Amino acid sequence: MVTTTLKTTRSEEIFAAAQKLMPGGVNSPVRAFKSVEGSPIVFDRVKGAYIWDVDGNQYIDYIGTWGPAICGHANPEVLAALKAALEKGTSFGAPCYLENVLAEMVIDAVPSVEMVRFVNSGTEACMAVLRLMRAFTGRDKVIKFEGCYHGHADMFLVKAGSGVATLGLPDSPGVPKSTTANTLNAPYNDLEAVKQLFAENPGEICGVILEPVVGNAGFIAPDAGFLEGLRLITQEAGALLVFDEVMTGFRIAYGGAQAKFGVTPDLTTMGKVIGGGLPVGAYGGRREIMQMVAPAGPMYQAGTLSGNPLAMTAGIKTLELLQRPGTYEQLDRITKKLADGMLQVAQETGHAACGGQISAMFGFFFTAGPVHNYDDAKTADTAKFGRFHRGMLEQGIYLAPSQFEAGFTSLAHTDEDVERTLAAARTVMAGL
Ligand code: HOZ
């Protein structure tokens, strides 16, 4: 147990009250400190790479509101654009020119996307994309990977990552077996397992959906040839390949993982960065497939606030900022310094650890590794991570409160922030 020096009285009061008002005191399970020490910190404001709690403590933030804050929190240009848009109203529930602007930006950037539909979250995007995969192919079965997370829709809550992994839930009550009967799971990075599922279910599988770089079982990179192999297998089986780029889209490259790795899926889901901090999700892909979506085609999907002008504005401005020269070089450099530094500190202080980074996404496991899939990730010492997490908080560093979540950096993180983080990690690891 790390000695507590952090004053968190107000956070504790608010969280105690919250537990009587909301299940677990939170509005999303990943925010609870269920697998780390202490109770959640309640925040008051954010700016750049920093986040301040209600007791006045300042932290360097590596969650970035779970991905959207790639330009830094409360970026002044995003805020100015939002203030101007706000004057015109918050929602039209009717077509708005800003939807065209963001749609064109997404289509220009993401190789697989010829048409796009905006929704309000990554969960919604994944829910809709599965319906579309089934509608287009006329097949019901889908392959996903253990530890990948595609939101909380029923069909995906089998061996899922993120909060489901953190809480150690194999599945969720309330999800009828019939709903997940068509969800097939394979270990990530295992092409043979995927081939076997296709062989066992000929003509029945609509496609394969995956996080091209996993962020919801901790950070796991695809092995060389894995994404290419999936492209080939799905093509041969007349099935669709879907990249869930909710986390990786516009983060690990402007065009997402598909641009980074040069593998083009049929469909893509997005969220987080494209909303610039407001609730947005999207799915898109080949025109002939997207034309099935209502009202162009028969597959129904809708949303009251979808494409609302505020979310579109924040997304447009965020993508404009990301288009500036040197952006991704800077994100990669600063994140590499952090990820390499963490491994170095672990080695110096005698802890078995492995991890990595691609552009502004990184991860770190307390296990010698290597980690290629969810089973490997589960060998990590989660109790040690719990103590490490608390120690880092005490040092003013805010990490995701789970070993099964990737970390995120932003354009606002400086060399000095990373150096402070590594110094903190050295102090904490030396005391574990
Ligand atoms: N998908 C994110 C975690 N891996 C955050 C969304 C949530 O709150 O579940």
Q: What is the pLDDT of residues 214-249, one digit of tens each?
A: 999 999 999 999 999 999 999 999 999 999 999 999
Mean pLDDT value across residues 296-300: 98
Residue located via tokens 């497939």: 289
Mean pLDDT, rounded, for 359-388: 96
| In the chain, % of residues over pLDDT 70 | 99
Separation of alpha carbons 306 and 146, rounded Å: 30
Residue 272 annotated in active site: yes
- At 185 the pLDDT is 96
CB 323 within 8 A of CB 109: no
Fold of 51-74+325-430: Aspartate Aminotransferase, domain 1 (3.90.1150)
User: Which amino acid residue places its CA nearest to atom 8 of ligand 1?
Assistant: 28
- As a whole number of angstroms, the distance between CA 99 and CA 313 comes to 9
pLDDT of amino acid 150: 97
What pLDDT, on a 0 to 100 scale, did the predictor assign at position 28? 94
- From the CB of 66, is ligand 1 less than 6 Å away? yes
Indicate whether 2 pLDDT > 60: no
| Residue 142 confidence (pLDDT) above 90 | yes
| Closest CA to ligand 1's atom 6 | 66
User: For the domain bounded by 76-322, which CATH number is listed?
Assistant: 3.40.640.10
Predicted local distance difference test score (pLDDT) of residue 188: 98
- Out of 141, 260, 272, 337, pick the active-site residue: 272
**Ligand 1, atom 2: closest residue by C-alpha:** 66
Helix (H, G, I), strand (E, B) or coil at 160: coil
- Taking CA atoms only, the protein residue closest to ligand 1 atom 4 is 162
Using an 8 Å Cβ cutoff, are 212 and 245 in contact? yes
Q: Is the pLDDT of residue 297 over 70?
A: yes
Ligand 1 contact, 135 CB (< 6 A): no
Per-residue model confidence as pLDDT tens digits over 29-42: 999 998 898 899 99
The per-residue pLDDT for 171 is 78
> Ligand 1 center to residue 5 CA distance, Å?
29
Confidence of residue 369 (pLDDT cuts 50, 70, 90): confident
Helices 382-394 and 415-431, packing angle to 10 deg: 120
Q: Does the pLDDT value for residue 3 go beyond 80?
A: no
pLDDT at 92: 96
**Residue 337 is among the residues annotated as catalytic for this protein:** no
How much is the average pLDDT of 273-293? Answer: 98
162 pocket-lining for ligand 1 (C-beta < 6 Å): yes
Q: Please report the pLDDT score of residue 1 as a whole number.
A: 45
Q: For residue 298, give both structure tokens.
A: 């028969």
Helical (H) or strand (E) element with 48: none
Q: Considering the chain, what percentage of its residues have pLDDT values greater than 90? A: 93
Average pLDDT rounded to a whole number, residues 60-66: 97
149 included as an active-site residue: yes
Average pLDDT along the chain: 96
Query: 162, 172, 273, 374: which to mutate for ligand 1, most atoms within 8 A of CB?
Result: 162
Ligand 1 atom closest to the Cα of residue 247 is 1
Q: Find the 350 Cα to ligand 1 centroid distance in Å.
A: 32
Domain boundaries, the chain: 51-74+325-430, 76-322
208-230 as b/e: b if 16+ CB within 10 A: bbbbbbbbbbbbbbbeeebbebb
pLDDT in tens, 81-113: 999 999 999 999 999 999 999 999 999 999 999
| Average pLDDT of the residues in 112-118 | 98
Integer CA distances (angstroms), 205 to 143, 239, 290, in order: 7, 7, 19
pLDDT of residue 5: 81
Q: What is the pTM of this model?
A: 0.97
Spatial distance between the Cα atoms of 218 and 221, rounded to a whole number of angstroms = 10
149, 188, 254, 283: which is the annotated catalytic residue? 149
Closest CA to 112 of 232, 205, 252, 231: 231
Q: Say yes or no to pLDDT of 252 above 90.
A: yes
d(CA 188, CA 102): 32
CB distance 28 to ligand 1 below 6 Å: yes
Query: Which atom number of ligand 1 is nearest to the Cα of residue 122?
Result: 1
Report the residue among 26, 30, 219, 246 best suited for mutation to probe ligand 1: largest number of ligand atoms under 8 A from its CB: 30
pLDDT at 4: 66
